[in-house]
Amino acid sequence: MSKIELKHIDKFYGKNHILKDVELTIEDGDFMTLLGPSGCGKTTTLRVVSGLEKPQNGTIYMDGKEIVNAAEAHFAPPSERGLNLVFQSYALWPHMTVRENIAFGLNIKKMSKEEVNKRVTDALERMQIGQYIDRYPSELSGGQQQRVAIARAIASEPRLLLLDEPLSNLDAKLRVDMRSELKRLHTETGTTMIYVTHDQVEALTMSTKIAIFKEGVIIQVAPPLELYNNPANLYVADFIGNPRINFVDVKATVTAAGMEIDGAAGKLSFPKSDMTPGAPTSGTFDAVLGIRPEQVTINTERQSPDDIEAKIYTSMPAGSETLVTAKMCGVSMVIKALGITHYSPDQTVYLSIDPKKINVFDKKSENLIKYSV
C-alpha cells in the first residue's frame, strides 16, 4: 500500500520532451489508470515511477518519502521502491517452469516453502492457469505467458503494482475475465495500482481514477463516471465512450440568467447553475453540444414539441442494443437504443434529447462550459 506523488515531472529523450510538467497524486489504495493514445507517455510515466528512467525535472514522493529529486540528482534505486512492474512485453525466465518463475522472487525473500507454494497456487488460480504450473514458457501461448507474468507480480504482494497493458495479448472473452480478476484482486488486497491502457472500456470498468494523457500532458484526472459525464474538454469527451459522443455545432448566448443554444438540435436553455466556473459570462459565440449515444431516444411519432425531426441513415442491431445513425438538419447522430429495434433507411423519426444530461463546450477554448446534471 502506497501513496505516490509526482510533482512537475519533465522527461526528455534527447531533444524530445516526452513528459511535460506531469503532476499526479495516486492515493493509497487507488486503482489509477493512465489512459491515452499510443506514444503519449504512459509507459514512460511507469518507468519514471519504477526507477528505470530518470526524469530531468521534478520530484516523486512515496508515502511522503522523497524517492526522486531531479534537482539534487537523487534517484532511489528500483529495489528500494517496493514495487513490481509488469511490462508491456513481459519477460519470463525461459529455463524455468511457471512455478519456478513465480517462486524465484519469493525464495529470494527467504519465505517459507509453504508460503511460497500457497502464493504460487493462489496467483495461478486467480489468473486461471493453474494447470500450466509445470510447463516452460515456450510451451505456453502468448496470452498464457502474459498471465504468468501478472501472476508473478501479484504473488510478490508488492506495495505498489505497476501494470503496463497487461491484457493486450488476450482474446476478448479472456480479457473481460481478467479485468474482473484484477478488479477483485484490487478490492481484496487494497494494493495501490497504476495501470496503463489505451482501451477506454478497460479504464472505465476497472479504475477508481483515470488520468487522461495527451502528448505528455495530463489533461484530466477524475473517477471514471465523472470523466464520462463531465469531460473537461473536447479531447477527453471524444476519447472516452464507445460508441463515441456526438458533437453538434451550435450558437450559444450567455446572459445573466444562463445560456441559450440554437442549432441543429433546436433551441435549448440552461440555468446559470449548470454552467462551469470557467464558462463565458456574457456574449454570443460558437459552441459544441456533446450528446452521448444513450442520451437520445427515438420515437416514430412526435411525443413533444421539442422533439427533433430526423431521418434514419442506418440501423445496426447487435443483440442487446441497436446502434442507429440518424440525420437531423444534415448532422449525423449515433444513437444507442436498448434491445432490437428495426428502422428502415430514410424513415422519418423524432429524437428526444434530455437537455440536463448533455454537455456544452466552448468551440474556441474547447473547454466544458455546461455540466451534465
Ligand X SMILES: Nc1ncnc2c1ncn2[C@@H]1O[C@H](COP(=O)(O)OP(=O)(O)OP(=O)(O)O)[C@@H](O)[C@H]1O
Q: Which residues bind ligand X (CB under 6 A)?
A: 13, 18, 36, 38-44, 88, 198
Identity of the residue, 102 or 221, whose beta carbon is nearer to ligand X in the bound complex: 221
Shortest Å distance, C-beta 106 to ligand X? 29
Shortest Å distance, C-beta 196 to ligand X? 6
- What's 139's DSSP letter? G
Identity of the residue, 22 or 161, whose beta carbon is nearer to ligand X in the bound complex: 22
Binding-site partner at residue 281 among ligand X, Mg ion, none, CB < 5 to 8 Å by type? none
Binding-site partner at residue 44 among Mg ion, ligand X, none, CB < 5 to 8 Å by type? ligand X
Shortest Å distance, C-beta 21 to Mg ion? 20
Shortest Å distance, C-beta 111 to Mg ion? 32
Q: Cβ atoms within 10 A of the Cβ of 3, count?
A: 16
Strand partners, 338: 321
Q: Cβ atoms within 10 A of the Cβ of 81, count?
A: 23
Ordered alpha helix ranges (H), 77-136: 98-108, 113-126
Identity of the residue, 168 or 205, whose beta carbon is nearer to Mg ion in the bound complex: 168
Binding-site partner at residue 39 among ligand X, Mg ion, none, CB < 5 to 8 Å by type? ligand X
Please, are residues 85 and 45 in contact by the beta-carbon 8 Å criterion?
no
Work out the angle at residue 279's Cα, subtended by the Cα atoms of residues 270 and 332, and round it to the nearest 5 degrees.
60
For residue 177 the three cell numbers come to 475475465
Binding-site partner at residue 18 among ligand X, Mg ion, none, CB < 5 to 8 Å by type? ligand X
For residue 23 the three cell numbers come to 503532476
Shortest Å distance, C-beta 230 to ligand X? 24
Binding-site partner at residue 355 among ligand X, Mg ion, none, CB < 5 to 8 Å by type? none
User: Between the CA atoms of 149, 175, 173 and 236, what dihedral angle is there, to the nearest 10 degrees?
Assistant: -170
Q: Cβ atoms within 10 A of the Cβ of 217, count?
A: 15
Identity of the residue, 216 or 355, whose beta carbon is nearer to ligand X in the bound complex: 216
